[in-house]
Amino acid sequence: MYPNVQAYDRGVMFNPDGRLFQVEYAKEAVRNGATSIGLIAKDSVVFVAHKNIAEPLAIPATIQKVFRIDSHIGATYSGMVADGLHIIDVARNRAQNHRLIYDDIKSVEALAKDISAYMMQATQYGGLRPYAVSFLVGGIDSASRLFEIEPGASFLGYKADAIGVGKKTATEMLMKEYKDNMTTEDAVGLGVKKIKKISEGRLSEESLDVGYVESGSDYVLLSPSEINQYL
């Protein structure tokens, strides 16, 4: 229909349908990333992320897919590693700055909006490429919150959500099995089970990151042995 479709996909420019191709191609990079899942449980928000490492001599523990942003906020990403780490740094700075300036925690939604605004810049200015990462950012302020932010910088709240290569499969499974008011343990179990399914069973405690934020206590990252109990 558009004989030289490639004319619109370099630089951050619209095509005649109003689409930004560079953003869509960045989403494709996310679609190739290892799967991450986030779930809102009764008094907690849970993150389970796959670390898809084929090399036997690699040390999976050196890849981090689930991060503490602040005591009450965690995050996980799928997509380009370096982009992911860069945005995680930005997010931590924003959370810290809020504490310094207001002497109070930043709300989870405000942080998700900050990440969205930061990633939006890269879709607006020529000479930059969009960030090739999707994020699940979640935590507890007045209630439990979970947000997805994608390369086009839009964000949306979820009860349970998946990003990366297994997004479609995981989301469908979550739709059937997710329940409100699960215990943290059940939520972790559900997340691990789904990633196990997506990875067709080839999963050790080393190729998973599991973290959660629970009401009234600081962010928790499970140890491999703790993860092992869910496999």
Edge-to-edge strand ranges of the sheet holding 73-79: 66-70, 73-79, 133-140, 144-149
Instruction: Decide whether 57 or 101 has the Cβ nearer to a second copy.
Output: 57
Distance, in Å, from the CA atom of 163 to the CA atom of 76, rounded to the nearest integer, reads: 9
Instruction: Decide whether 36 or 217 has the Cβ nearer to a second copy.
Output: 36
Instruction: Decide whether 169 or 229 has the Cβ nearer to a second copy.
Output: 169
Nearest approach, Cβ of residue 29 and a second copy (Å):
3
- Give the Cβ contact number of residue 208 at 10 Å: 26
Asked if 150 and 30 count as a contact pair (C-beta separation under 8 A), the reply is yes
Distance, in Å, from the CA atom of 163 to the CA atom of 45, rounded to the nearest integer, reads: 16
Nearest approach, Cβ of residue 184 and a second copy (Å):
18
Instruction: Decide whether 110 or 231 has the Cβ nearer to a second copy.
Output: 110
Distance, in Å, from the CA atom of 153 to the CA atom of 30, rounded to the nearest integer, reads: 13
The packing angle between helices 108-124 and 81-102, to 10°, is 130
Q: Residue 2 carries which DSSP code? A: -
Q: In this structure, which amino acid lies at residue 50?
A: H
Distance, in Å, from the CA atom of 160 to the CA atom of 68, rounded to the nearest integer, reads: 19
Nearest approach, Cβ of residue 229 and a second copy (Å):
24
Nearest approach, Cβ of residue 95 and a second copy (Å):
18
Element (H, E) at 138: strand 133-140
Instruction: Decide whether 128 or 229 has the Cβ nearer to a second copy.
Output: 128
Nearest approach, Cβ of residue 207 and a second copy (Å):
13
Nearest approach, Cβ of residue 203 and a second copy (Å):
18
Instruction: Decide whether 19 or 193 has the Cβ nearer to a second copy.
Output: 19
Distance, in Å, from the CA atom of 216 to the CA atom of 127, rounded to the nearest integer, reads: 44
